[in-house]
């Protein structure tokens, strides 16, 4: 039988056999980790993440208390992970409350050093710029801008391994209805860079769309985001990405999942500044996808415009195809403005045809009207049927 013989040589001579490097331990049992906004959404997932990866003491700072479901989940985490989770009521936008909370932590856990801060507190108030006033900006900025400054000042004496601020992809992609939110996140991005410049830990993570909080299981809205190029990150992907971010330890990192074809046609084609920033990445990924898709595959039957429209409606409205006829009114399918934009985007991506948004919302329009638009284009008509969709532009890398 085959054998492998190791010649060790002298007892004191070190072996040439390479050792498997130990995985870095992110958290310690005898340390304290603060999570702001830790009773819901991404904050609560961070509590789970720290506990599951060895963090022994977690302190949640939140303006409100935990409901019964969260209390039960916290009890389950503490039992499964053998850790201590403490809840303190604290508004991080108020300096005195943050300093009091940090002092209270030192009294409750005198022999446990504070080694990490994860800032997840957030308040949203969306709206276009013309509909927002000063109070709407202050409301959104307080937990992020005031919060990060207060946490910085209250923990300057601590030797922190982590000072992590949860930012958003809106801070660099932009969002017309979230200028206040994007501004608040941009401040945190810059503040983490400032901390690094003065020799302190600091890391901003710009998260994309997550299947948490307001987006949790909202399949209709998730489908709309996907049509715009933004895919949803599931909980396991969030945990894996957070771990990678902490290991890589850059001052700012973006975690989002793109549908590159959709983002090319629905975002970059309409935003010159983003085209300059992201076109190289998008084009590279599309080339990779093209190489993969160029492998021999079974040829697919090309559907007629009628078949295509019925299939599209069936997939997105949850109606069986055999229930649809040419005379089915679009209004009878419950198509609202968001679903209309989703369908508009999908048709543009698949067929290169810009169907006016009002067509989907017109109570008199039927499936046959959508089919007629596609047939007209196939027969040499104008692809830019409507004026509410910008044409695609070719992009080059920068």
Report the share of the chain in percent with pLDDT over 70.
Answer: 76
Q: Residue 316 belongs to a domain with what CATH number?
A: 1.10.1200.10
The Cα 136–Cα 181 span in angstroms is 10
Chain centroid to CA 260: 15
**pLDDT recorded at residue 278:** 67
pLDDT at 265 over 70: no
Whole-prediction pTM value? Answer: 0.69
Please state, in angstroms and as integers, the Cα–Cα distance from residue 268 to each residue in 172, 264, 276, 281, 287, following that order.
13, 5, 9, 12, 16
| Tokens at 184, concatenated | 């608040």
Do residue 170 and residue 309 come from a single domain?
no
pLDDT at 143 over 90: yes
Domain count, the chain: 2
| Tokens at 265, concatenated | 């046609």
Domain that holds residue 315: 305-378
Tell me if 16 is assigned to some domain: no
Q: What angle do CA 213, 229, 258 make, to 5 degrees?
A: 80
Mean of the pLDDT values across residues 381-388? 44
Do residue 316 and residue 238 come from a single domain?
no
pLDDT tens for each residue of 15-54: 555 555 566 789 999 999 999 999 989 999 999 999 999 9
What is the number of H-type helices and E-type strands within the chain? 15, 9
**pLDDT recorded at residue 288:** 59
| Tokens at 102, concatenated | 């940090």
pLDDT at 207 over 80: yes
Do residue 70 and residue 209 come from a single domain?
yes
Do residue 95 and residue 196 come from a single domain?
yes
pLDDT at 219 over 80: no
Q: Residue 169 belongs to a domain with what CATH number?
A: 3.40.50.720
Sign of the CA dihedral with 9 first, then 10, 13, and 14 last: positive
Mean of the pLDDT values across residues 135-142? 88
Q: Which three-class secondary structure state does DSSP give residue 203? A: strand
Cβ contacts of residue 92 below 8 Å, gap of 6+? 36, 61, 98, 119, 121, 143, 146, 147, 150, 151
């Amino acid at each position: 039988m085959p054998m492998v013989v190791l010649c060790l040589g002298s007892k004191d001579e070190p072996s040439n056999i390479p050792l498997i490097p130990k995985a870095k331990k992110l958290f310690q049992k005898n340390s304290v980790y603060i999570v702001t906004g830790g009773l819901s959404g991404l904050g609560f997932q961070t509590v789970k993440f720290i506990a599951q990866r060895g963090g022994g003491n977690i302190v949640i700072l939140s303006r409100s208390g935990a409901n019964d479901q969260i209390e039960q989940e916290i009890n389950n985490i503490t039992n499964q992970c053998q850790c201590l989770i403490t809840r303190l009521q604290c508004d991080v936008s108020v300096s005195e409350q943050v300093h009091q909370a940090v002092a209270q932590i030192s009294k409750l856990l005198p022999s446990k050093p504070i080694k990490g801060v994860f800032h997840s507190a957030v308040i949203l108030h969306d709206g276009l710029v013309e509909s927002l006033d000063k109070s709407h900006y202050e409301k959104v900025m307080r937990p992020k801008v005031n919060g990060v400054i207060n946490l910085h000042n209250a923990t300057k004496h601590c030797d922190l391994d982590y000072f992590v601020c949860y930012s958003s992809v809106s801070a660099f992609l932009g969002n017309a209805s979230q200028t206040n939110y994007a501004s608040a996140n941009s401040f945190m991005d810059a503040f983490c860079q400032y901390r690094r410049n003065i020799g302190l830990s600091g890391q901003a993570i710009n998260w994309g769309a997550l299947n948490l909080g307001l987006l949790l299981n909202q399949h209709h809205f998730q489908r709309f985001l996907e049509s715009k190029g933004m895919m949803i990150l599931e909980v396991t992907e969030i945990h894996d990405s957070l771990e990678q971010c902490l290991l890589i330890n850059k001052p700012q990192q973006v975690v989002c999942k793109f549908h590159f074809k959709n983002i090319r046609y629905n975002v970059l084609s309409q935003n010159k500044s983003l085209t300059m920033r992201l076109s190289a990445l998008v084009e590279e990924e599309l080339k990779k996808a093209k190489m993969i898709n160029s492998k021999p595959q079974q040829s697919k039957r090309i559907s007629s415009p009628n078949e295509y429209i019925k299939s599209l409606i069936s997939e997105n409205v949850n109606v069986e195809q055999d229930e649809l006829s040419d005379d089915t009114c679009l209004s009878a399918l419950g198509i609202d403005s968001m679903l209309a934009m989703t369908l508009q985007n999908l048709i543009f991506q698949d067929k290169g045809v810009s169907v006016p948004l009002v067509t989907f919302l017109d109570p008199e329009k039927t499936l046959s009207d959508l089919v007629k638009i596609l047939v007209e284009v196939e027969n040499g008509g104008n692809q830019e049927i409507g004026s509410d969709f910008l044409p695609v532009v070719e992009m080059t890398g920068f």
